[in-house]
Amino acid sequence: MSIRLNPYFVINGHSREALYFYEKALRGSVVGIMTFGDLPEDPNHPLTDEMKALVMHAHLKVGDADLMFSDTFPGTSHQADGDTVQIAIHPTEESDAREIFAALGDGGQVFMPLQKTDWSPLYGIVKDKFGVTFQINVAGV
């Protein structure tokens, strides 16, 4: 069996901002964006202009990885504190790790500054301004 997994970010009304934030921070490229307004209209469930502008699905390519995004549909509950799953990023160069860590930390919170560890020449943990926690880990010592 062949299987591929990817993170899917569900963000409360800020998916477009998050998409472009991660595009810059992780040096990715936006593959596509579909809004709720791009769907055929349903007279039984009319959407406001604000709802139509929200991201239903967006795709960001980062290296070989795919990141996907969606806004929470208005009226749907949203839990922003999601430390149960963290995303590990493994740049090969320390300079890349420093740039990514700094970009993700802009407006966020550093839990563990980038530092040498027993398993890595540079490792750190940061939660970005969207509440997503990242582990940055340069391979091997």
Give the closest residue to 63 by CA, choosing from 86, 103, 91, 88: 91
pTM metric for this prediction: 0.78
Can you give the pLDDT at residue 102? 97
- Residues 6 or more apart whose CB falls under 8 angstroms from that of 61 comprise 28, 29, 30, 31, 67
Q: For residues 11 and 73, is the Cβ–Cβ distance under 8 A?
A: no
Give the start-end residues of each E strand in the chain. 8-11, 29-35, 55-62, 65-71, 87-89, 109-115, 123-127, 133-137
Residues across the chain? 141
Q: Which residues contact 96 (CB under 8 A, 6 or more apart)?
A: none
Nearest alpha-carbon partner for 65 in 97, 26, 92, 98 = 26
Choose among 103, 115, 114, 109: nearest CA to 133: 109
**Quick one: which of 82, 91, 85 has its CA closest to 121?**
91
Please give the chain's pLDDT, 141 residues, in tens.
666 778 988 888 899 999 999 999 999 999 999 999 998 888 888 889 999 999 999 999 999 999 999 998 776 766 666 555 789 899 999 999 999 999 999 999 999 999 999 889 999 999 999 988 899 999 875
